[in-house]
Amino acid sequence: MSAAVPELLAPAGSAAGLAAALHAGADAVYFGVGNFNMRHKAKNFALGELANVVSLCREHGARAYLALNTIIYERELKALETVVEAARAAGVDAVIGWDAAVIQAVLSRGMELHLSTQASVSNSKAIAACYRQYGIRRFVMARECSLNDLTLIRRNLATELGTEADSIEFEIFIHGAMCVSLSGRCFLSQSVSGHSANRGICLQPCRREYRIIDTEGEYEFTIGKDYVLSPKDLCTMPFFDKVMLSNVASLKIEGRARGPEYVSTVTSAYRRAIDAWRERPQSTETDPAEFPAAYEELKTRLTAKLRTVFNRDFHAGFYMGKPAADWVGKPGSQARYRKESVGKVVNYFRKPQAAEVIIQNRGIQRGDTLLFQGITTGSLEVQANQIRVNDKPAEQALRGESASIHTGAPVRRGDLVYRAVENYHDG
């Protein structure tokens, strides 16, 4: 793949998340099976579902990457072989891993391996060594690398590998949660609760507020007004032009534990930004780094859209240099909207593009923003501009009623329906 138009790699932590990513325009998705991945709390997929996952990706022209990115213990080696063989049989495009047992199991079957960010690869020597020893060509770079670091590493690879350096691909995270520790090397959760972050079961003690209490119990201090161990979320949209000029092959969204509305919103936003870059006017008289005002306006609009779903406020991470004190944030989501349960779809009428919805919880009003979510639908956002109750136009539909809602796109029987409600935050 040309680094000029990088791959958009989206998370799929569930069937609905997978559908949301594909409908939103992902070029590739990454997902886990069972316990061998860094998002143990996500729904993930059963081993027997691998073929269906790959098939669905093929239908949408997308690639399928299996994440096996945890430490592997001796007692798990047999199970690892079973998983990797199932991935090979299903036609998975690549496996993301870093444990030497995973590397051996994948490469011995002639499969492609992408070296996980858990390996903390952050220099040209490490890349050259892995390429020479294993033939690995795709590296998920350490999240502590700046954009300048990536440029320098790319330049020095030419010295290390000569023309073979052209085959090396960088994959970087562009959006999602960040770790307060060296990513992939945090032991705080394991220390305080016995749940290891490096096995995908982090309880995130960093997301809590802390107090200092002296040993005699006389003095007690709250550590500042913010959650000093809880980083904001990475968002590269404000400087996405610089990301697109960094010569990377794959742009990765974190979020396998998030809902389908998150996956849909974030993936579609970055899809739009990538496509706008690709379609930008070319001119020999101007520097391609000089963007028209329209692109800057687009980034502003897309950043605002990204704020509508779960976020802990946004930060540039390490990309523009080492983070300052402002990279920690407030507790909980700072999303502009939250979702409230409405009910579920009991029928869909294709010709009028209308769904019959049983209102089981909160009622709706004309003009509300609704989310239809399901394993095939993914996440569809609909403005409820047309509501019918008892086959008559209505301004609202109340709990216990059956409402017909124009959706403008197919939804499915059994899809869950939510209402997007504006959040209000202090400050």
CA dihedral over 53, 58, 62, 63, signed as positive or negative: positive
Single-letter amino acid, residue 355:
A
- Tell which residue, 93, 97, 63, 57, has the closest CA to residue 80: 97
pLDDT score for 221: 62
Q: Which residue in this structure is represented by tokens 């780094």?
A: 289
Q: In the CATH scheme, what is the homologous superfamily, with its name and number, of domain 7-178+231-327?
A: Aldolase class I (3.20.20.70)
Quote the crossing angle between the two packed helices 100-107 and 77-90, to the nearest 10°. 40
User: Phi-psi region for residue 8, left (φ > 0), alpha (ψ -120 to 50) or beta?
Assistant: beta
Contact predicate 378/22, CB 8 Å? yes
The residues, any chain, with a CB within 8 Å of residue 331's CB and separated by 6 or more, are 207, 209, 227, 230
pLDDT score for 2: 40
pLDDT score for 327: 62
Contact predicate 372/379, CB 8 Å? yes
Q: How far is it, in rounded angstroms, from Cα 154 to Cα 149?
A: 8
Its CATH architecture, for the domain 337-422, is: Beta Barrel (2.40)
pLDDT score for 1: 39
**Residue-range domain boundaries for the chain:** 7-178+231-327, 188-222, 337-422
Question: Chunked in runs of 10, what are the mean pLDDT values of the chain (427 residues)?
Answer: 78 97 98 76 84 98 96 94 97 98 98 96 98 98 95 97 97 92 71 72 73 70 64 94 95 96 98 94 54 88 96 92 68 80 96 96 95 96 95 95 96 96 68
Looking at the DSSP bridge assignments, the partners of residue 373 are: 379, 416
For the stretch 106-123, what's the b/e string if a residue is b when 16 or more beta carbons lie within 10 angstroms of its beta carbon? beeeebbbbbbbbbbbbb
CA dihedral over 348, 342, 43, 98, signed as positive or negative: positive
Half-sphere exposure of 347 (CA within 13 A, CB side): 7
